[in-house]
Amino acid sequence: MENLDRAHLDGLVAQELQDYQERHPRSRELHENARHLFARVPMTWMNKWPGGFPLGFSSAHGALVTDLDGHELVDFALGDTGAFAGHSPPALVRAVRERIEHDGGVTTMMPTEDAEWVAAELSRRFGLAKWSFSLSATDANRWLLRLVRLATGRPKILVFSYSYHGSVDETFVVLGEDGRAHSRAGNVAPAVDPASTTRVVEFNDLEGLARELRHGDVAAVLSEPALTNIGIVLAQPGFLEGVRELCDETGTLLILDETHTFSAGPGGATKRFGLRPDAITIGKSLGGGVACGAYGLSEQLAQRVRDAARSGADLVDVGGVGGTLAGNALSMAAMRAVLGEVLTDDAFGPMEELATMFGDDVRAAIESHELPWSVSQLGARVEYRFAHPAPLSGGASARSADAELEHYLHLYCINRGVMLTPFHNMALMCPATTLDQVRLHGEVFREALDRLAR
Ligand SMILES: Cc1ncc(COP(=O)(O)O)c(C=O)c1O
């Protein structure tokens, strides 16, 4: 960000880092002593937390987590949506215990009654007829991309620049300044250049989309209804309807990834905005943290897949769609508990109200310091960005990133008992989030900006 006193910011970061390190000796020890973990953490992205080492995890209930040093934090990260249902909600605990302890058996190769219940509930919410399951949103996307290529006989997909759909090879493509598709910076040893599998345009650019789809080689557009992994980039009025029309005109399928935009309501952004995708992918939150994922197909697409598979595509064994543990009994029981008793139709209204209040606090602090920042909200999810007005595309949003400023704000919050998502300035409300917790963030955020302004 221009006009920011960088030397002053450096000083603030140094102070917060020192406080963080002094407050968290056991977390530091955990990291330093992890000699058998690659990069000292169970998953390399855990090193993305600010402070030089991640907080060690001890316990979590509702919207609160306790770190290894005994500090309780309000959790607005919620496992980057994996814990959107809150941590260990009683209905989930009951269902998991019943499945493992009482009924017995986690994975068997046999379907359970829960599976049809969950599929029916997803159909009711999202409007798609047929569902299948995975253990992650990544796999739901991967497998569905194969199915849409099979159904259409077309080789490519189209994504919006700076979108994220999990570690799916075809999606790591951004639009370069030269207007061409490029492998995203940092893409780890791709098997093929993803620019050869994928077309890319900026979000909210219908003209660009029309131009790319006219080639007639795109099986499906894969998009979130709003980008949520490069800040929240909301669709302009008419954009999503325009995407649908262009897909229809060019015989292209439309996949909506609702993994994060589920925050928009019980039927995600699809139901809220009356969207008409051919397929949906979703994961993370459905199982309350128990590994799960799902993809839904319209009746028509399901029939096209079945017809196309007659040519010999193997949908049952080693054709490249599916996983041994996918659809396992525990995963299905967890999803049933979460959809049936936690993230219910009635749960979303209060979560959205809290997200609005969170955004109001942030906006008020930003305005009082006349900072050129913006706040975007999608239901229970809210995020601020160092740009005003809010960016309309992934590229514009990427250009507004400020790693040092983000580092400062996240550290400042953690040192005062508030946790934001390390990859974003994102806050998510769960059914257990309270107004006091939201207000605490408001106070801490305002203080952080006061110090920034001196
Ligand atoms: C929109 C979206 N889709 C898919 C994924 C992949 O989820 P997972 O890493 O749980 O497979 C993510 C992860 O952040 C996501 O944000």
Q: Over the stretch 262-295, which tens digit does the pLDDT of each residue have?
A: 999 999 999 999 999 999 999 999 999 999 999 9
Q: Angle formed by the axes of helices 90-97 and 329-337, to 10°?
A: 150
Task: Compute the distance between CA of residue 426 and CA of residue 358 in angstroms, rounded to an integer.
Answer: 11
**Residue type at 128 in one-letter notation:** L
Tell me if 242 is assigned to some domain.
yes
Residues with CB under 6 A from ligand 1: 80, 136-138, 164-166, 224, 229, 257, 259-260, 283-284
Give the torsion through C-alpha atoms of 15, 18, 22, 26, to 10 deg: 130
21 has a pLDDT exceeding 70? yes
Residues 443 and 306 in one domain: no
Name the residue of 260, 292, 428 to mutate for ligand 1: max ligand atoms within 8 A of Cβ.
260
Tell me if 1 is assigned to some domain.
no
Nearest CA to ligand 1 atom 14: 166
**Position with higher pLDDT, 426 vs 3:** 426
Name the residue of 133, 227, 284 to mutate for ligand 1: max ligand atoms within 8 A of Cβ.
284
Residues 438 and 358 in one domain: yes
The rounded Å distance from CA 130 to ligand 1 centre is 21
Task: State pLDDT tens for residues 63-106.
Answer: 999 999 999 999 999 999 999 999 999 999 999 999 999 999 99
2 has a pLDDT exceeding 80? no
Nearest CA to ligand 1 atom 4: 165
Full domain range(s) for residue 275: 90-342
Tokens of 364: 């008020």
Atom of ligand 1 nearest to the CA of 81: 14
Give the torsion through C-alpha atoms of 207, 209, 213, 214, to 10 deg: 10
Q: Which of 171, 172, 264 is nearest to 222 (CA)?
A: 171
> Model pTM?
0.98
Residues 143 and 232 in one domain: yes
Task: State pLDDT tens for residues 194-205.
Answer: 999 999 999 999
Among residues 342, 373, 408, the one where a domain terminates is: 342
The number of domains in the chain is 2
Q: Which of 222, 83, 207, 85 is nearest to 164 (CA)?
A: 222
Residues 136 and 283 in one domain: yes
pLDDT of the residue at 1: 61
Torsion 364-368-370-371 (CA) sign: negative
The rounded Å distance from CA 333 to ligand 1 centre is 21
Task: State pLDDT tens for residues 314-364.
Answer: 999 999 999 999 999 999 999 999 999 999 999 999 999 999 999 999 999
**Residue type at 238 in one-letter notation:** G
Task: State pLDDT tens for residues 126-155.
Answer: 999 999 999 999 999 999 999 999 999 999
> Taking residues 377-394, what's their average pLDDT?
97
* Residue 314: CA count within 13 A, CB half-sphere: 6
What is the domain-level CATH number for residue 330?
Answer: 3.40.640.10
The rounded Å distance from CA 8 to ligand 1 centre is 36
What is the domain-level CATH number for residue 406?
Answer: 3.90.1150.10
Residues 334 and 386 in one domain: no
Residues 359 and 395 in one domain: yes
